[in-house]
């Protein structure tokens, strides 16, 4: 059997230097400050719009949400992956690496698709661009959860490069061409990221990985660190789902709905986890992950008039689906499909994300003028311009189509990226049996 090279002393620095230099060049060519962050343009913008106070700059509305989302990306996702006793360094450290690269590439990719000025050929960025870049990174970080301990940092950078690119394309199709609403990213972030990582993991499956099964377990302190990630994610998820919604009632409602759904998923997860154990003890894997499923599933419908009790139902159902996924679906996938999902992203992101996408479709199709008002419907679903005459039934159909697009992009794109990484033999593989990650073992 071929022994995979795990030495990244040359390849990792080379990739980091080359890609960072490429980012500097591309930023120099394309990226500029927008009118609310440029010194000269902000003065002109205030004069043209009769703005008398700097406090009306969008920075002061969006930055608190940006801070929360940023903490979720770098602390929440990173520490959530520390539950494995042997891969905690990689969980936090490589999360830091790929998010730092990913947000730079995301500013470019999303800019080319959404905010490229055809007159100047420039991309103008502000605080909302930073939020969207973090959202874009989230898809690749979710995919990393399925690959933790099985790939090298060089491979992770390749996964991120292609993941950000695929994300930008599927996001453009879903949000711009299909005109779907997905404020919290149930479809474009979670369903896509989950199935993207699962497809790569399936393609990169190596039979000898079962020999390192003993390294996959947790210990007391690793579970404790993972709970730090869980609590950060749980507390800030209302900001995640409401960060880029319209100011006013939509943002307010998105935070309320997410807050309620998260609370519901906690009780449901605890109940099922306790029932599944002989002596009623809780499984920390369930508590660390399935308790967050309500936030994932509420992403699409967060800004809709789903009602508070509807949010409780979504949290209740997502908690059931996620916990049962850890109990039954993950063992089935590993035994029969040879699909090793290290962090259970299928149960926390893919399934609840798919549920959230279809819940959003149902809630959109059921929207009525008596509940929203005519103006409320236009504002919530952005029925303006080319979409001014779209009905709520049609919107519901397109929302469902958007969920299917996200899943298809994740599965097909992940399979292609996985095959690419198998073919490029210069990419060092991470062998979990060789435990290259922990210097103490060398």
Taking only the tens place, the pLDDT of each residue in 68-105 is 999 999 999 999 998 887 778 888 999 999 999 999 99
- 57: helix, strand or coil: coil
> How many domains are contained in the chain?
1
- Stretch among 41-50, 234-243, 410-419, 432-441 having the lowest mean pLDDT: 432-441
**DSSP track, 140-177:** HHHHHHHHTTTB-HHHHHHHHHHHHHHHHHHHIIIIII
Q: Is residue 441 in some structural domain?
A: no
Contact 414, 203 (CB under 8 A): yes
Q: Is residue 252 in some structural domain?
A: yes
pLDDT digits (tens, 9 = 90+) for 193-231: 999 999 999 999 877 665 655 556 677 778 888 999 999
Tokens (6 digits) for 21: 């230099």
- 328: helix, strand or coil: helix
Q: Is residue 428 in some structural domain?
A: no
Query: Which backbone phi and psi does 31 adopt, to 5 degrees?
Result: -90, 130
- 33: helix, strand or coil: strand
Q: Is residue 437 in some structural domain?
A: no
Q: Is residue 19 in some structural domain?
A: no
Q: Is residue 237 in some structural domain?
A: yes
Q: What integer is the mean pLDDT of 120-131? A: 96
Contact 400, 357 (CB under 8 A): yes
Please report the pLDDT score of residue 150 as a whole number: 83
Please report the pLDDT score of residue 1 as a whole number: 40
Q: Is residue 180 in some structural domain?
A: yes
Q: Which domain holds residue 144?
A: 26-207+216-423
**Whole-number percent of the chain with pLDDT over 70:** 92
Please report the pLDDT score of residue 229 as a whole number: 96
Query: Which backbone phi and psi does 238 adopt, to 5 degrees?
Result: -60, -35
Give the Cα separation of 175 and 17 in Å (integer): 34
Q: Is residue 14 in some structural domain?
A: no
- 125: helix, strand or coil: strand
436 pLDDT tier (thresholds 50, 70, 90):
very low
Query: Given 3-state DSSP classes, what are the helix, strand and coil percentages for the chain, each rounded to the nearest 5?
Result: 75, 0, 25
Rounded to two decimals, what is the model's pTM?
0.93
Please report the pLDDT score of residue 199 as a whole number: 97
Residues composing the chain:
442
Answer whether residue 442 shows pLDDT above 90: no
pLDDT digits (tens, 9 = 90+) for 249-275: 999 999 999 999 999 999 999 999 999
Q: What is the CATH number of the domain that holds 295?
A: 1.10.3430.10
- Averaged pLDDT of the chain: 91
Please report the pLDDT score of residue 256 as a whole number: 98
Give the Cα separation of 404 and 17 in Å (integer): 37
Measured from the Cβ of residue 166, the count of other Cβ atoms closer than 10 Å reads: 23
What angle is formed at CA 423 by the lines to CA 419 and CA 426, rounded to 5 degrees? Answer: 130
pLDDT digits (tens, 9 = 90+) for 148-165: 888 889 999 999 999 999
């Amino acid at each position: 059997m071929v022994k995979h090279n795990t030495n990244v002393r040359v390849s990792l620095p080379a990739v980091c230097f080359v890609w960072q230099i490429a980012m500097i060049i591309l930023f120099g060519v394309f990226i500029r400050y927008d009118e609310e962050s440029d010194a000269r343009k902000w003065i002109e913008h205030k004069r043209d719009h009769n703005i008398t106070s700097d406090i009306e700059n969008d920075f002061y509305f969006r930055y608190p949400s940006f801070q929360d989302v940023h903490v979720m990306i770098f602390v929440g996702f990173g520490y959530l992956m520390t539950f494995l006793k042997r891969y905690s360094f990689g969980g936090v450290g490589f999360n830091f690496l790929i998010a730092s690269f990913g947000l730079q590439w995301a500013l470019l990719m999303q800019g080319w698709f959404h905010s490229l000025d055809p007159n100047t050929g420039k991309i103008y960025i502000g605080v909302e661009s930073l939020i969207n870049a973090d959202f874009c990174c989230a898809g690749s970080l979710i995919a990393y959860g399925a690959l933790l301990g099985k790939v090298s940092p060089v491979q992770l950078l390749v996964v991120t490069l292609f993941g950000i690119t695929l994300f930008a394309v599927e996001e453009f199709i879903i949000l711009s061409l299909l005109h779907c609403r997905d404020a919290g990213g149930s479809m474009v972030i979670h369903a896509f990221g989950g199935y993207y990582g699962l497809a790569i993991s399936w393609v990169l499956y190596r039979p000898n990985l079962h020999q390192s099964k003993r390294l996959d377990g947790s210990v007391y302190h690793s579970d404790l660190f993972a709970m730090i990630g869980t609590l950060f994610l749980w507390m800030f998820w209302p900001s995640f789902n409401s960060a880029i919604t319209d100011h006013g009632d939509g943002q307010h409602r998105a935070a309320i709905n997410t807050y309620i759904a998260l609370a519901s998923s906690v009780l449901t997860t605890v109940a099922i986890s306790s029932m599944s154990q002989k002596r009623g003890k809780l499984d920390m894997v369930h508590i660390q992950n399935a308790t967050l499923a309500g936030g994932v599933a509420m992403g699409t419908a967060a800004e809709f008039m789903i009602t508070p009790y509807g949010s409780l139902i979504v949290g209740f159902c997502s908690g059931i689906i996620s916990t049962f996924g850890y109990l039954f679906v993950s063992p089935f996938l590993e035994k029969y499909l040879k699909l090793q999902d290290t962090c259970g992203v299928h149960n926390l992101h893919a399934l609840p994300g798919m549920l959230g996408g279809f819940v959003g479709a149902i809630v959109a199709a059921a929207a009525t003028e008596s509940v929203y008002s005519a103006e409320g419907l236009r504002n919530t679903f952005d029925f303006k311009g080319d979409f001014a005459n779209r009905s709520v039934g049609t919107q519901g159909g397109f929302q469902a189509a958007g969920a299917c697009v996200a899943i298809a992009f994740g599965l097909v794109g992940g399979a292609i990226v996985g095959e690419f990484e198998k073919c490029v033999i210069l990419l060092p593989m991470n062998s979990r049996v060789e435990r290259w990650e922990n210097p103490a073992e060398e």
